[in-house]
Amino acid sequence: MPTQPLTQQNFEQVIATHAIVLVDFWASWCGWCTRFAPIFADSAAAHPEIVHATVDTEAEQALTAAAQISSLPTLVAFREGLLVYSHPGFQTAAQLEEVIQQIRWLDMDEMRRQLGAQNPAVTPPAPPMPRAGAAAGRPNYGWPGLSPG
């Protein structure tokens, strides 16, 4: 699946309606961004069940400011509507794959408990459907940190 451009108009809807969303904040003048773009596109092709989205920080300045992006490229990830990962800087294909596997194996019930404990006034969004364990995906992935032998 190709990458999907996000704008201020569709950002929240895409995050809310997909199990896992990776977002690459980039700019055309950023050399590291242009190096990361093909890695991100290859990941999108390898993981069609995960939305691989891009935000052009020059065109979407309000969205970039709202996301508090201060370094490019920056990769952020959402699972079941919750922000679960944010990392500024270039990542290799292997590093990106490791991030994806870690996101798949997150215990979302525990994430929600932690979020609620940090700020009891904030009620985290409910997932679209109850889930436990690993997110849907390729059946041949393993435990995080283990490489296929």
Residues assigned a catalytic role: 30, 33
Nearest to 13 by CA among 64, 83, 81, 108: 81
Residue environment code for 94-117, b if the CB has 16+ CB neighbours within 10 A, otherwise e: eebbebbbebbebebeebbeebee
Q: 16, 125 in Cβ contact below 8 A?
A: yes
